[in-house]
Structure 1
């Protein structure tokens, strides 16, 4: 757990509360997530120069340098964004958490960001109506940036590349452990699901030819339910460290398939894709796009990952948990298959 300095915290809380703070007390606890970073909820009371005691909540996120495959500078991307004017691109209804302080420790190769605590509905507590609203807001955000090409966005140098998703898929496809497994006699995944994955491999060149005709938009690239908060009719998105250029619909693939509500995946696909296009179309005419490729994006981005997770769950020591996880991953693949059949 990263050290919290009272001097820094006093400065940060002064900015957050908009008044001079002379002292603070605090407690901290880890927040869910933060797989690659140390994310803490810091709470306590702050005393103003007038002697008034005020409660506060704030999030501290410390990120040490690491190298993500194909995206080596992602570890510092949120810091770079918060130090830029990236925040000006958001609207009141679709935004990120406000940042009160961001600093870089060059000696230790780590960043620390102090940001707004978001108290909203997230994860699998999101309802279908919320999914649909989030999809429309995302489309509106991406459509506006695509149409206007703001200078702020053009000046950002630390963005993941448009071929990141393709390279990620090709990296997985070249991994014999998963590639050979779905083609082996010993594979325990139902044959029709293996065929679904093999068909994507065999048609990958043609699929990427179609994808490359889609608009290139700014993608969050980690747009799954635990990074989405819905609060008072507004959408707040956290964890922007994988953000970069990608294909129209990439983030929708994550919203639908990345550890989502399996039972409602088909329904959410049916509702969210039109909502996403509706939001995007407010700024850019995309009526000529007849194939959104989201089904293919789902398989390219998550097909082999689900196979890996299924195989890893089978090697667990806790038998019941392993069985439950394997069932979940198979169910997800089955729902993807149903999406493909229903298109």
Structure 2
């Protein structure tokens, strides 16, 4: 947990509260922590110049430098975004948390972002209606930017590349641990699951040719339930460090398959894709698109990841047939069932 600097906290609260403060008391609660990132909820009371005590909640996100495969500058992307005009592109119904103060420590390669605390529903507590709303608002956001093509968005330099998903897939496929497993006699998967994954490998080049005909849009690229907050009917999306150019529908793959609500995956697949295209089509004509490739993108983005997660879970406890490993296998089964939808 990073030490809170009173001066930085005061600067953030001055902007957040719209008042000059003479004193600040605070407590911290770790929300997420690791070797390269740290997120804390900071709460307390601040005293204004006129002696009024004001209670507050604010988030401090600290990010250390690290190199994501194929995207080495992602560690500082949120900082770069918040120093740009990207926030002006959002709406009340689809936005990121407001930023109150930024710091960059060049010597230690560390960013600090003081941002809005969102009191909302997230993760697997999201309902089907909330999933659908998130998909529609995402489509509306991407459709508007695709139609308007804001000039400054084209000039942003620290965006992930449009071929990131493709490179990520081929990187995973080159990893013998997962590639060989689904082809081995020791594989625990039903044969139809193995065939589904192998068929994607066999047809990957042709599938990517189809995907690359889709519109290129600004993607979040980590649009999964833990990064989505539903608050008062609005969608607030956090963790923009992977964002950049991608293909129409790419973000929906994360919404549907990344640590999914397995019990409702088919239902959400049926609801979220039409909602997404409904939102997008408010700004851009997509009637000519007959092949959305979302099913294929789900497998390209998450097929081998789910295999890896299954292998990691079962290698830790091979006797646990009802635990985490089974969840990943059931997710693959639901993806298999999506094809008939």
Q: What's the TM-score once normalised by structure 1's chain length?
A: 0.97
Partner residue in 1 for 2:247? 247
Aligned-pair CA distance for 1:32: 4.3
Q: Is the 8 A contact 1:62 1:113 kept in 2?
A: yes
Partner residue in 1 for 2:202? 202
Partner residue in 2 for 1:133? 133
Aligned-pair CA distance for 1:11: 1.4
Q: Is the 8 A contact 1:97 1:118 kept in 2?
A: yes
Aligned-pair CA distance for 1:151: 1.6
Partner residue in 1 for 2:340? 341
Given the superposition, is the C-alpha separation of residues 305 and 35 from structure 1 closer, same or farther in structure 2, using an over 3 Å criterion? farther
Partner residue in 2 for 1:159? 159
Does the alignment pair 1:273 with 2:273?
A: yes
Aligned-pair CA distance for 1:319: 5.1
SS in 1 for 2:114: strand
Given the superposition, is the C-alpha separation of residues 33 and 215 from structure 1 closer, same or farther in structure 2, using an over 3 Å criterion? farther
SS in 2 for 1:341: coil
Q: Is the 8 A contact 2:19 2:48 kept in 1?
A: yes
SS in 2 for 1:46: strand
Partner residue in 2 for 1:117? 117
Aligned-pair CA distance for 1:8: 1.4
CA distance in 2, matches of 1:18, 1:312: 49
Does the alignment pair 1:99 with 2:104?
A: no
CA distance in 1, matches of 2:60, 2:33: 13
Q: Considering only aligned residues, what root-mean-square deviation do their CA atoms show, in Å?
A: 1.2
Q: Is the 8 A contact 1:313 1:323 kept in 2?
A: no
Aligned-pair CA distance for 1:323: 4.3
Q: Deviations over 1:218-251 (max 9, x none)?
A: 0000000000000001000000000000010000
Partner residue in 1 for 2:42? 42
Q: What's the TM-score once normalised by structure 2's chain length?
A: 0.98
Q: Deviations over 1:262-317 (max 9, x none)?
A: 11001001000000000000111000101111100000000000000010001115
Q: Where does the alignment leave 5 or more consecutive residues of structure 2 unmatched?
A: none
Aligned-pair CA distance for 1:159: 0.1
Aligned-pair CA distance for 1:152: 2.3
Partner residue in 2 for 1:173? 173
Partner residue in 2 for 1:308? 308
SS in 2 for 1:143: helix
CA distance in 1, matches of 2:43, 2:204: 50
SS in 1 for 2:186: coil
Given the superposition, is the C-alpha separation of residues 200 and 318 from structure 1 closer, same or farther in structure 2, using an over 3 Å criterion? closer
CA distance in 1, matches of 2:156, 2:46: 36
CA distance in 2, matches of 1:10, 1:219: 34
Q: Is the 8 A contact 2:90 2:141 kept in 1?
A: yes
Partner residue in 1 for 2:235? 235
Partner residue in 1 for 2:328? 329
